[in-house]
Amino acid sequence: MSPPLPRALRPKPRRPGDNGNGRNGPNGSTVAPPKPTVKDHALEGTASAVGWLDERTGLSPFLRGFLFRKVPKGTNWFYTLGSATLFAFLSQAVTGVFLAMYYEPDATRAYESASRITNEVFLGEFVRGMHKWGSSVMIILIFLHMARVFFFGAYKYPRELNWVIGVVLLVLTLLMGLTGYLLPFDQRSFWATVVAVNINASGPLVGPYLADFLRAGAEFGPTTIPRFYALHMLLVPGLIIALIGAHLYLVAKLGTTAPPWLKAEKKDLLTEEI
């Protein structure tokens, strides 16, 4: 059973005297139905388009369950941190796609193309700035979201799996930060990446091979930047999108938790329809 539509979205019954069914004129007389206005046509058209889609996809119960689900009493602004992280990711994805149109992942061209984005391309400074600062915003938000879930005890049964998925998303987000840091290819990026790769190399047995994988060889070489670039814009974001899907599915499926300071007096008191 999907939840009912909120009151504002329910179709209103017609009131006597104000409609066009032709039998409610003054003194019971019959009046001609008024001509449909442009607004009526627009509403009609939208409704039939939505109906066409819904008839063929059966999406509406799913969307209704997802958008109008019940949330516990006491739900507050802290519960928006997950959505905030999601929007930070979307912002990174959109600005990243457009940066990719101007960026050249080549050791001799990377720095030049990145500085061309900043100095010459129209709005380039702004889009690159959004991507650069947005990355920090996303990291901050994901940690705040994690802290919210931890301190509210929202990781407990039956939501452990969603915590695990969230931790994987955290690691992938950090990996985005690591791989993206090299791409401007200035001194700071280069040496930070050298140090980061050598930290990977410090793991016993597998570490040296992991470092070779990241560098595509024993030394920082011509394919190192393309490798980081491919990880940064294809592999890791793909995994993040897939896992965000699973994360949201579980949120919708299991619902959210009440804040820990609310104690249930009766069994079903914590459930409230909005």
Partner 1 sequence: MTRRTLMTGTALAAGGIATMAFALPGLGFALGPIFEDTTPTVWQDVGPQDDFNEDTYVPRVINITPEIGDAGKTTIYVRAFNRRRDRVIEGQDPQPYVAISTRCAHLGCPVRYIQASQKFVCPCHGGVYGFEGEVEGGPPVRPLDRFYTRVELGRVEIGDRFSLNSDLERFAPRDPSNHLDGLWQYLYPARPTT
- 221 touches partner 1 by CB under 8 A: yes
The nearer residue to partner 1, 36 or 222, going by C-beta atoms, is 222
The nearer residue to partner 1, 106 or 255, going by C-beta atoms, is 106
CB of 89 to partner 1, least distance (A): 25
Q: What is the dihedral of CA 179, 184, 185, 187, to 10 degrees?
A: -110
The encoded tokens of residue 8 equal 């504002």
* CA gyration radius, the chain: 27
- Of 144, 216, 243, 248, the residue at the interface with partner 1 (CB under 8 A) is 216
Give, rounded to a whole angstrom, the gap between the first and last alpha carbons of the chain. Answer: 17
> CA angle, corner 249, sides to 247 and 252, nearest 5?
110
Beta bridge partners of 72: 271
- 226 touches partner 1 by CB under 8 A: no
Q: What is the dihedral of CA 211, 96, 169, 240, to 10 degrees?
A: -100
What's the CA gap between 155 and 152, in Å, rounded? 8
The encoded tokens of residue 208 equal 């040296």
What's the CA gap between 115 and 121, in Å, rounded? 9
- Of 67, 97, 199, 234, the residue at the interface with partner 1 (CB under 8 A) is 199
- 175 touches partner 1 by CB under 8 A: no
The nearer residue to partner 1, 151 or 191, going by C-beta atoms, is 191
CB of 116 to partner 1, least distance (A): 17
What's the CA gap between 104 and 112, in Å, rounded? 9
Q: Considering only residues 179 through 198, tell me which ones interact with partner 1, judged by CB under 8 A.
A: 185, 190-191, 194-195, 197-198
- Of 91, 94, 175, 212, the residue at the interface with partner 1 (CB under 8 A) is 212
CB of 185 to partner 1, least distance (A): 8
The nearer residue to partner 1, 117 or 197, going by C-beta atoms, is 197
Residues of this chain that bind partner 1 (CB under 8 A): 107-108, 185, 190-191, 194-195, 197-199, 201-202, 204-205, 207-209, 211-213, 215-223
